[in-house]
Amino acid sequence: MIGRLLYDSKGVYEDQIASMRKATVNQTAGAMDFSLLTDGLRAEREQGITIDVAYRYFSTPRRKFIIADTPGHEQYTRNMATGASTANLAIILIDARFGVLQQSRRHAFIASLLAIPHIAVAVNKMDLVDYREDVFEQIRADFEGFAEQLQIADAHFIPVSALLGDNVVDRSERMPWFKGAPLLEYLETVHISHDRNLTEMRFPVQYVIRPNLDFRGYAGQVASGVIRKGDTVMVLPSGRTSQVQKIVTYEGEIAQAYPPMSVTVCLEDEIDISRGDMLVPPLDAPYVSTRFEAMAVWMNAAPLEIGRTYLVKHLTQQVTASVTAIRYRTDVNTLEKQETDRLELNEIGAISIETRRPLFFDPYRRNRTTGAFILIDPITNSTLGAGMITDRETAAGRSAGSLLDAVRYEPGTGPRVTAGERFARAGHRAATVWLSGVEEIAYLAERKLFDHGCLVHVLAGETESHILPELARISNAAGLITICSVPVDDPQERERARGVVGEERFVTVDAAAIPGGVDAAAEAVCRKLEEQGIIRERRSDPFTGGDGI
């Protein structure tokens, strides 16, 4: 099939065809054996099978393609998973004579497991069923019935004959009943730009570039979302925030970066950041946890076992981990879930993992970059398996200001509610606003923030000023936004409060520095909280506001 695609789209060179013809003569087959083009290793050519993933390249005037050609037998499930991991689209071949077989189900399951966004189902060997429409339609119905269980978003069916070239590159005249596009045309036009996650910004730091004392840049590839100059970002795991000062490339500074761009980000503040850290939006942070659930594909002859120590490589982190549970194994042919205490080579199962240090991740279905990891044997150094983090709510929950809590959290002991959960419920981070000016400003700001849905309160007047910082700290721990109203800005008091509350949660507003009346000052408080990423941006009117689609 791949050979036909390459051959008809002129992706093969003459000398390669000549050497393929030469090799075909040595065997019994009559028609040209296109697999000789793709099966590159001697063992494969000798045995006539595709063992390993082979990457092939071709382009048409409309698009450039990379084909990961993977074997289809069950004992090569791991190779299929490998090829699928980077694919935008999977072509699943179904033999028209036999219909949807176990093998087709397995292929569809793996494509779905690895979250390949698009599936082209090529019903092949139509020439051997007299190009009958009813055969094709029956296969389509069978496949769709099966695919329903599998979260396959986009499946497209095409009747083809790879041997004779029908509907591969050129439209078949022998199947006038098929009105759709031939395979290549479909491949050229399928929309893939929205396969990327452009909503949740994730920038894993790969490497710190520091050529001299004046430059400190964080090099990395944008995993998802868009990072812009001026954005407030939070650094994981420290939780500190800063603004993007500039985005540097060899060609010059740029205003924004998106996946899969490799750029270098400089921040306004000197923060200690190293490889393994991640820049994220303060209000849209990933999960931060040492525990998570995942689907794993096992790729080694030595089975995965509970309690064994492995290394997890996830984004730019490599951490020691252990598998704490195997929830079930999925039979790749029937999709049946079975109880087990191990995963053998090529088996797929749901596992629970605990890591030494917290990882920053999103569920794989939502983010194919931050949700993926590999398992490595710390002794042999082999790559043992691949994992896709599942949606299951993790112990630590979705977290922003709760990083240390997430690390310390132990189920069954001490507090059962984490700061991450508080954050998730409140929809904003906890903070202390140190507001100097008349009390009226504090109450006006409180009203505005309350109307915006915030958990907010004012400490003023009756409160003895020397215990204000301690009270604010306690209120912040409960997840609240605390406005401390003080009559004038006393630098000594302010800095003591900053020390008690913590830099991350401390916001200062001096009304004396803001022109306009009390209302303008209250508005300034809200704006500052927005700018620092503590609350979500307020929109003018939820019904006419411009965020809809």
Partner 1 sequence: MAVDRFALTHLRALEAESIHIMREVVAEFSNPVMLYSIGKDSSVMVRLAQKAFFPGKIPFPLLHVDTTYKFSEMIEFRDRFVKEIGADLIVHTNRQAIADGANPFRLGTQKCCGLLKTRALLDALTEGGFDAAFGGARRDEEKSRAKERVYSFRDGFGQWDPKNQRPELWNLYNSRVDKGESIRVFPLSNWTELDVWQYIHVENIPIVPMYFAKEREMVVRGGSLIPVEQEIPLLPGEKPEMVLCRMRSLGCSPCTGAIRSDADTVPKIIQEMMLVRRSERENRVIDHDQEGSMEIKKREGYF
- CB 174, CB 200: distance < 8 Å: no
> Which listed residue (258, 331, 340, 438) binds partner 1 by CB under 8 A?
258
Q: Nearest approach, Cβ of 204 to partner 1 (angstroms)?
A: 10
Question: Quick one: 206 or 508, whose CB is closer to partner 1?
Answer: 206
Window of 308-316, 337-345, 432-440, 532-540 that interacts with partner 1 by CB under 8 A: 308-316
Angstrom distance (rounded) from CA 216 to CA 266: 6
Q: Nearest approach, Cβ of 502 to partner 1 (angstroms)?
A: 31
Question: Quick one: 39 or 421, whose CB is closer to partner 1?
Answer: 39
In the block, tokens 């087990």 appear at: 340
- CB 483, CB 461: distance < 8 Å: no
Q: Nearest approach, Cβ of 85 to partner 1 (angstroms)?
A: 4
Both tokens of 413, joined, read 């002991």
> Which listed residue (78, 105, 202, 429) binds partner 1 by CB under 8 A?
78
501-505: list long-range contacts, CB under 8 Å, 24+ apart.
Answer: 501/432, 501/469, 501/472, 501/473, 501/476, 502/473, 503/240, 504/239, 504/240, 504/241, 504/401, 505/401, 505/429, 505/430, 505/431, 505/432, 505/476
Q: Nearest approach, Cβ of 265 to partner 1 (angstroms)?
A: 13
By CB under 8 A, tell whether 211 contacts partner 1: yes
By CB under 8 A, tell whether 381 contacts partner 1: yes
Distances (CA, A) of 316 to 73, 159, 216, 235, 319: 33, 43, 18, 14, 10
Question: Quick one: 102 or 380, whose CB is closer to partner 1?
Answer: 380
Full 3-state SS string of 284-333: CCCEEEEEEEEEEEECCCCCEECCCEEEEEECCEEEEEEEEEEEEEECCC
> Which listed residue (209, 467, 477, 488) binds partner 1 by CB under 8 A?
209
Which among 353, 534, 538, 311 has a CA at the least distance from the CA of 429?
534
- By CB under 8 A, the count of residues binding partner 1 is 66
Q: Nearest approach, Cβ of 461 to partner 1 (angstroms)?
A: 51
Question: Quick one: 51 or 163, whose CB is closer to partner 1?
Answer: 51
By CB under 8 A, tell whether 306 contacts partner 1: no
> Which listed residue (16, 88, 238, 390) binds partner 1 by CB under 8 A?
16
Question: Quick one: 38 or 465, whose CB is closer to partner 1?
Answer: 38
Both tokens of 506, joined, read 């401390």
Window of 129-137, 279-287, 380-388, 457-465 that interacts with partner 1 by CB under 8 A: 380-388
Angstrom distance (rounded) from CA 541 to CA 549: 15
Window of 35-43, 138-146, 229-237, 343-351 that interacts with partner 1 by CB under 8 A: 35-43
Angstrom distance (rounded) from CA 491 to CA 470: 17
Q: Nearest approach, Cβ of 217 to partner 1 (angstroms)?
A: 8
Q: Binders of partner 1 among 212-251, rule CB under 8 A?
A: 215, 217, 219-221, 226, 248-250
By CB under 8 A, tell whether 390 contacts partner 1: no
Paired strand residues for 119: 90, 155
Q: Binders of partner 1 among 316-335, rule CB under 8 A?
A: 316
Contact pattern for partner 1 over residues 346 through 375, marking x by CB under 8 A: ----------------------xx--xxx-
Kind plus residue range of the DSSP H or E element containing 456: strand 456-459
Q: Is the dihedral of CA 467, 470, 474, 479 positive or negative?
A: positive
Question: Quick one: 138 or 383, whose CB is closer to partner 1?
Answer: 383
Angstrom distance (rounded) from CA 414 to CA 297: 36
Both tokens of 405, joined, read 């809590």
- CB 372, CB 295: distance < 8 Å: no
> Which listed residue (9, 38, 352, 465) binds partner 1 by CB under 8 A?
38
Kind plus residue range of the DSSP H or E element containing 279: strand 278-280
Distances (CA, A) of 321 to 292, 343, 394, 473: 11, 17, 16, 35
In the block, tokens 């004038």 appear at: 488
> Which listed residue (264, 355, 432, 436) binds partner 1 by CB under 8 A?
264
By CB under 8 A, tell whether 100 contacts partner 1: no
Angstrom distance (rounded) from CA 207 to CA 210: 10
Contact pattern for partner 1 over residues 40 through 69, marking x by CB under 8 A: xxxx-x-----xxxxxxx-x----x-x---
Question: Quick one: 60 or 508, whose CB is closer to partner 1?
Answer: 60
Q: Side chain identity at 85, as an amino acid letter?
A: S
Q: Nearest approach, Cβ of 425 to partner 1 (angstroms)?
A: 32
> Which listed residue (171, 228, 275, 498) binds partner 1 by CB under 8 A?
275
> Which listed residue (1, 5, 81, 483) binds partner 1 by CB under 8 A?
81
Both tokens of 549, joined, read 């689609």
Both tokens of 385, joined, read 């398996």
Q: Binders of partner 1 among 170-199, rule CB under 8 A?
A: 193, 196, 198
Q: Nearest approach, Cβ of 81 to partner 1 (angstroms)?
A: 7
- CB 179, CB 187: distance < 8 Å: no
Window of 203-211, 236-244, 450-458, 475-483 that interacts with partner 1 by CB under 8 A: 203-211
> Which listed residue (294, 311, 400, 472) binds partner 1 by CB under 8 A?
311
DSSP string across 217-255: EEEEE--BS-EETT-EEEEETT--EEEEEEEEETTEEES
Binding site for partner 1 (CB under 8 A): 10, 13-16, 38, 40-43, 45, 51-57, 59, 64, 66, 78-79, 81-82, 85-86, 193, 196, 198, 206-207, 209-211, 215, 217, 219-221, 226, 248-250, 258-262, 264, 275, 299, 311, 313-314, 316, 368-369, 372-374, 376, 381-383, 386
